[in-house]
C-alpha cells in the first residue's frame, strides 16, 4: 500500500489533535475535535497494521502453496 | 448545561443501526421529510428576502458562488495527488465537498435558534446558489469541458438545474418572496413543525450514515482524514468570507457551515449520470458517513464556539 495517503492521515490526525487540545484546554470548545482526531489516528494505525501484515500474509500464503506443491511433487515421485 | 435535542436524534439513529435494532423508516416518509425541509427552508428564506433583501444581497451572492468554485479546486488535488484516487473519483468527491448539505444547514439553523443567535434570514438563497458551481467545477476537473469530454450537456444541465433540491428550494424561495407576510397562513406547518420533523429526518439519516461507514474500508484512513479536514478548511474559508462580506455573527456561522458541509442529495444524482465509472459509494460514504455526522455532532458546535470567541455576540 502506498504510504502517502497514510502519511496524510497521520499528519492530519496529529495536527487536529493538537488543535483540538489547544482549543479545549483554553476553554473555547469541548474535546470533540480532539476525540475525532484520536479516531483518525486510530484508523490510520489500524490501516498501517493492515498494510504491513498483508505482504507477510501473502508471502506466507505463497510459501504454503509452494510447500504444498513441493510435497505433492515428492509424493508423486515416490 | 445545554442539550441539543435535534442532533441527539441523529445519534439515536446511528446507534440503532450499529446495534442492528429493528428501526425501519418507510422510504416514502424519508422522501416526504426531505421535501418538507427543502420547501420549509426555501419558503422562510423567501419571506425574509422580501422583508430584508437589498441590492447588497447580489454582491453577497456573487461572493458565495466564488466560495463554491474554490472549495472543489482545493479538494481535488488533495484527493487526486495526496489520496491517489482515480481522477473520476477525486473529481466526484471534490464536487460533493464544494456543494452543500441542506440537512447540515437545517441543523445549524436549529442550533442558532436554540442559542438565540440572529442571522440573515435570507440565507436559503445562498444554499441554492452553492449547490451548483461545485458540480460544474467537478465535471470540468474530471474530463475538461471540450467536445471530447463525452458529456451529454443537455442531460447534465437538466440534472443540475432540475434536481429536486434546486427546484423545490428555489421555487419555495420565489413563492415566499412573492407572498411576503401572506405566507404566514402556511407557516404553522413549515415554521412551527420544522424542528420536530428535522429531528425525524435526522433519525433516519443516522441510520443511513451508520450503514454507509463500511463502504470506505479500502481507503479508510485517507478518506476519514479528508472527510474531517475538508469541512474544517471549508468552514475557515466560509467564516473568513462571511466576515469580509459583513455578515452578522449568525451569518458568519452559517456560511462556515455551508463551506463545511458536503452534498449527499443533489450532487450524487448528477455525478451518477455524468461520471458513471466513479465510485459513488465512496463519495456518499465520505459525505454522509463521516462529514455529516462530524458537522452535526462536533463541527457546528465548534464553529459556533470559535466564531463567537473571535466575533463576540452583541
* pLDDT tops 50 at residue B186: yes
Given CB atoms, is A43 within the 8 Å cutoff of chain B? yes
CA distance A55 to chain B (A): 16
Nearest chain B alpha carbon to A13: B225
Residues B220, A28: C-beta atoms closer than 8 Å = no
B101-127 pLDDT, tens per residue? 888 999 999 999 989 999 998 888 888
Nearest chain A alpha carbon to B304: A29
CA distance B242 to chain A (A): 21
Mean pLDDT score across all residues of chain B: 87
Given CB atoms, is A14 within the 8 Å cutoff of chain B? no
**pLDDT band per the 50, 70, 90 thresholds, residue B149:** low
Cβ-nearest to B305 among A4, A28, A36 = A28
- Give the mutation candidate from B4, B218, B221 for the A interface (greatest A CB count, under 10 A): B221
Residues 6+ apart with CB under 8 A from B183: B43, B46, B47, B175, B176
CA distance A13 to chain B (A): 7
User: pTM value?
Assistant: 0.83
Instruction: Quote the pLDDT of residue B299.
Output: 96
In chain A, which among 21-40 make CB contacts under 8 A with chain B?
23, 28-30, 32-33, 35-37, 39-40
Residues B302, A33: C-beta atoms closer than 8 Å = yes
Grid cell, residue B235, equals 468552514
Given CB atoms, is B222 within the 8 Å cutoff of chain A? yes
Residues 6+ apart with CB under 8 A from B107: B6, B7, B198, B202, B295, B296, B300
**Helix residue ranges per DSSP H, chain B:** 5-18, 27-52, 56-77, 87-98, 102-114, 124-131, 133-143, 153-162, 164-179, 187-190, 194-212, 220-245, 249-260, 266-274, 280-284, 292-294, 300-310
Instruction: Quote the pLDDT of residue B142.
Output: 84
How many other CB atoms are there within 10 angstroms of residue B293's CB atom?
Answer: 22
Residue with the bigger pLDDT between B304 and B28: it is B304
> d(Cα B10, Cα B295) in Å, to the nearest integer?
12
Burial degree of B263 (CB within 10 A; 0-12, 13-18, 19+): buried
In chain A, which among 59-78 make CB contacts under 8 A with chain B?
none
B69-98 pLDDT, tens per residue? 999 999 999 999 999 999 999 999 999 999
Residues A12, B229: C-beta atoms closer than 8 Å = yes
Closest by CA to B235, choosing from B97, B65, B125, is: B97
CA distance B228 to chain A (A): 8
* Residues of chain A where predicted confidence (pLDDT) is lower than 50: 66, 69-78
> d(Cα B247, Cα B257) in Å, to the nearest integer?
14
Residues A43, B224: C-beta atoms closer than 8 Å = yes
Residues 6+ apart with CB under 8 A from B268: B96, B280, B283, B284
> d(Cα B223, Cα A5) in Å, to the nearest integer?
9
* pLDDT tops 90 at residue B264: no
Residue with the bigger pLDDT between A67 and B54: it is B54
Nearest chain A alpha carbon to B218: A47
Residues 6+ apart with CB under 8 A from A69: none
Instruction: Quote the pLDDT of residue B205.
Output: 81
Instruction: Quote the pLDDT of residue B128.
Output: 84
Which chain A residues are closer than 8 Å to B225 by Cβ?
8-9, 12-13, 40, 43-44
Instruction: Quote the pLDDT of residue A78.
Output: 42
CA distance A37 to chain B (A): 8
B201-258 pLDDT, tens per residue? 888 888 888 887 777 777 889 999 999 999 999 999 999 999 999 999 999 999 999 9
Residues A32, B302: C-beta atoms closer than 8 Å = yes
Instruction: Quote the pLDDT of residue A53.
Output: 67
Amino acid at each position: 500500500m502506498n504510504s502517502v495517503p497514510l502519511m496524510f492521515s497521520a499528519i492530519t490526525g496529529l495536527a487536529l489533535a493538537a488543535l483540538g487540545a489547544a482549543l479545549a484546554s483554553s476553554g473555547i470548545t469541548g474535546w470533540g475535535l480532539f476525540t475525532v482526531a484520536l479516531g483518525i489516528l486510530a484508523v490510520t494505525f489500524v490501516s498501517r497494521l493492515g498494510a504491513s501484515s498483508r505482504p507477510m500474509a501473502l508471502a506466507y500464503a505463497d510459501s504454503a502453496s509452494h510447500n504444498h506443491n513441493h510435497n505433492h511433487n515428492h509424493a508423486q515421485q515416490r | 448545561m445545554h442539550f441539543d435535542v435535534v442532533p441527539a436524534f441523529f445519534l439515536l439513529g446511528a446507534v440503532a443501526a450499529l446495534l442492528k435494532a429493528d428501526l425501519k423508516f418507510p422510504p416514502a416518509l424519508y422522501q416526504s421529510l426531505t421535501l418538507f425541509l427543502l420547501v420549509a427552508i426555501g419558503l422562510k428564506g423567501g419571506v425574509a428576502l422580501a422583508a430584508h433583501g437589498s441590492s447588497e444581497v447580489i454582491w453577497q451572492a456573487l461572493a458565495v458562488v466564488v466560495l463554491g468554485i474554490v472549495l472543489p479546486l482545493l479538494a481535488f488535488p488533495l484527493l487526486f495527488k495526496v489520496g491517489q484516487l482515480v481522477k473520476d473519483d477525486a473529481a466526484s468527491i471534490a464536487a460533493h465537498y464544494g456543494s452543500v448539505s441542506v440537512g447540515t444547514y437545517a441543523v445549524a439553523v436549529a442550533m442558532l435558534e436554540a442559542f438565540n443567535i440572529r442571522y440573515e434570514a435570507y440565507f436559503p438563497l445562498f444554499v441554492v446558489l452553492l449547490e451548483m458551481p461545485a458540480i460544474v467545477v467537478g465535471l470540468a476537473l474530471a474530463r475538461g469541458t471540450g467536445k471530447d469530454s463525452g458529456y451529454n450537456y443537455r442531460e447534465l444541465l437538466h440534472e443540475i438545474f432540475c434536481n429536486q433540491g434546486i427546484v423545490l428550494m428555489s421555487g419555495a424561495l420565489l413563492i415566499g418572496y412573492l407572498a411576503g407576510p401572506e405566507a404566514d397562513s402556511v407557516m404553522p406547518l413549515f415554521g412551527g413543525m420544522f424542528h420536530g420533523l428535522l429531528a425525524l429526518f435526522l433519525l433516519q439519516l443516522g441510520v443511513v450514515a451508520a450503514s454507509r461507514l463500511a463502504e470506505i474500508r479500502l481507503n479508510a484512513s485517507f478518506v476519514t482524514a479528508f472527510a474531517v479536514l475538508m469541512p474544517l478548511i471549508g468552514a475557515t474559508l466560509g467564516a473568513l468570507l462571511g466576515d469580509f462580506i459583513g455578515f452578522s455573527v449568525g451569518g458568519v456561522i452559517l456560511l462556515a457551515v455551508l463551506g463545511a458541509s458536503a452534498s449527499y442529495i443533489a450532487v450524487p444524482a448528477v455525478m451518477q449520470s455524468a461520471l458513471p465509472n466513479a465510485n459513488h459509494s465512496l463519495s456518499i460514504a465520505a459525505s454522509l458517513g463521516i462529514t455529516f455526522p462530524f458537522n452535526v455532532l462536533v463541527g457546528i458546535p465548534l464553529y459556533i464556539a470559535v466564531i463567537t470567541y473571535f466575533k463576540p455576540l452583541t
